[in-house]
Structure 1
Amino acid sequence: MAAAANFLSKFSLSNPVLQSDCRRRLDPYPPSSAPNLTPESLKNLWLSTQNLWLRSSTLKTHALGQRRVSTIISFSLPTAKPERVSSIEKAPKWSSKAIKSFAMGELEARKLKYPNTGTESILMGILIEGTSLAAKFLRANEITLSKVRDETVRLLGKADMFFFSPEHPPLTEEAQRALDWAVDQKIKSGGSGEITTSHLLLGIWSEVESPGHKILHTLGFNSEKVKELESLISEPGFVDDL
């Protein structure tokens, strides 16, 4: 019993060694290193916190600014002839439906596992978007997405099932020329307004050797249909891609 009592006495709160250890645990600042909480030190602490908040706000604003710039850039389509106009402000803008059609074309190229976005992919993108005058005109002439997709696979073949397309499959030369043709035609017309999906479709047709043109021709699109579409979009007061 005496030995047990002697053992327990080592862990008693009255034990000076244990009391000293408890004080060290409860007081993280020894007397020599305790913070000097004077009004001046508190003021400096507040200023440091304020500066940190200002730096954080500046970084956030800068990041938001970068996102805004990225968004503005995304409202255009690739061009091989940026020098065609004297300034960005004078360059005609693409309509939102034309941009969406282009994006859907890129996605369709990836779904088919093709390495590039060609005129056939942009043609499918127009039909996938589906609400533009060009898409409605194609469907009215019995040119549908499923038919274009089938003709694309028949013409270009199936891709390797283990091939993975890049996130943004680069444009073929023919597809790039089709985009530039649409911009040039809008500039030549001298009219106000945007470059629409109809211009994009006519640009695809202008590339006679491209897969997009060949598919359109196979499905019954011809020069008479082109004249009909051009007549529609050139009517006074007509607004496309609403």
Structure 2
Amino acid sequence: MAAQGLSVFPIIPSNQYRTKSFEKVLVSFSLSNSLVGTKLSIEPASFGLVASKRRSFTVATVSFSLPTTKKTQEVAADKKPRWSARAIKSFAMGELEARKLKFPTTGTEALLMGILVEGTSLASKFLRENGITLFKVREEIVNLLGRSDLYFFSPEHPPLTEQAQSALDWAIEEKLKSGESGEITSSHLLLGIWSQKGSAGQKILAGFGFDDEKAKELAKTVSLWTRI
């Protein structure tokens, strides 16, 4: 789907105007969000429209990153693990859930909802298997934090709370400590939320029976999958 107001597909002339060969059309666009730290870029690619009706392809390069503190930014680029696509989507869905509840910030509770909204990661499946669902979590968040003013409008990208940022940093640091290859996953993000004792997300998890033993069980599962 093209971004609003931006067409990324070349206009193909009707048959009566076609010749045996057509000029190549170069398409390039970039969508970026400096606040979230997420960047999507599609490099210039050529669409060759020839009489043989060959299919045309677009070469896309996608690079993602989530907000980091100065401490994690100092990690060498070649050593810093990347976030998985599911973890990035979980983060984006967490922001969206914070906006739906009209919260001024994205906290650990919003990140927890984001994992459940994404729904396909190992972390989200683990939560559901333990009876922790999106509807239960959302209801508990309202009970714990209350409702925002009806007329309050959240920013497009509610800034992370200190504890939510610490959860992201924890995930990165633990991945580095493990020495294992692969990406930082939603499971690392969930364990990062659990590490923030006293945060809304951690309290909600604890209220539904998630404890240190469950955290260890999830961590073992993550480690097992990285070795397969």
Work out whether the TM-score is over 0.5.
yes
Structure 2 residue aligned with 1:225: 214
- Judging changes above 3 Å, is the alpha-carbon distance between structure 1 residues 89 and 71 closer, same or farther for their aligned structure 2 residues? farther
- Determine which structure has more spread, i.e. the larger CA radius of gyration: 1
Structure 2 residue aligned with 1:83: 73
TM-superposed CA distance for 1:233, in Å, is 1.1
- Amino acid aligned to 1:140: E
TM-superposed CA distance for 1:235, in Å, is 1.8
TM-superposed CA distance for 1:227, in Å, is 1.2
User: Is structure 2 residue 154 aligned with structure 1 residue 170?
Assistant: no
Query: Within 2, Cα distance between the matches of 1:236 and 1:103?
Result: 24
Q: Contact 2:102–2:152 at 8 Å: present in 1 too?
A: yes
Structure 1 residue aligned with 2:127: 138
Query: Within 2, Cα distance between the matches of 1:237 and 1:202?
Result: 16
- Amino acid aligned to 1:215: I
Return the structure number with greater helix share. 1
Structure 1 residue aligned with 2:116: 127
- Judging changes above 3 Å, is the alpha-carbon distance between structure 1 residues 162 and 65 closer, same or farther for their aligned structure 2 residues? closer
TM-superposed CA distance for 1:89, in Å, is 3.1
- Judging changes above 3 Å, is the alpha-carbon distance between structure 1 residues 157 and 202 closer, same or farther for their aligned structure 2 residues? same
- Amino acid aligned to 2:78: E
SS in structure 2 of the partner of residue 166 of structure 1? coil
Query: Within 1, Cα distance between the matches of 2:130 and 2:67?
Result: 29
TM-superposed CA distance for 1:67, in Å, is 4.6
SS in structure 2 of the partner of residue 89 of structure 1? coil
Runs of 4+ in 1 over 6 A off after TM superposition: none
Query: Within 1, Cα distance between the matches of 2:133 and 2:104?
Result: 23
Query: Within 2, Cα distance between the matches of 1:182 and 1:133?
Result: 15
Alignment of 1:200-211 (within 5 A): 200-211=189-200
Give 5+ residue unaligned stretches, structure 1: 1-56
TM-score of the two chains, using structure 2 as the length reference: 0.73
- Judging changes above 3 Å, is the alpha-carbon distance between structure 1 residues 166 and 201 closer, same or farther for their aligned structure 2 residues? same
Percent identity of the aligned residues?
62
Q: CA RMSD in A?
A: 2.1
TM-score of the two chains, using structure 1 as the length reference: 0.69
Give 5+ residue unaligned stretches, structure 2: 1-24, 33-37, 42-61
- Judging changes above 3 Å, is the alpha-carbon distance between structure 1 residues 238 and 139 closer, same or farther for their aligned structure 2 residues? farther
Alignment of 1:174-213 (within 5 A): 174-213=163-202
SS in structure 2 of the partner of residue 161 of structure 1? coil
Q: Contact 2:113–2:134 at 8 Å: present in 1 too?
A: yes
Structure 2 residue aligned with 1:101: 90
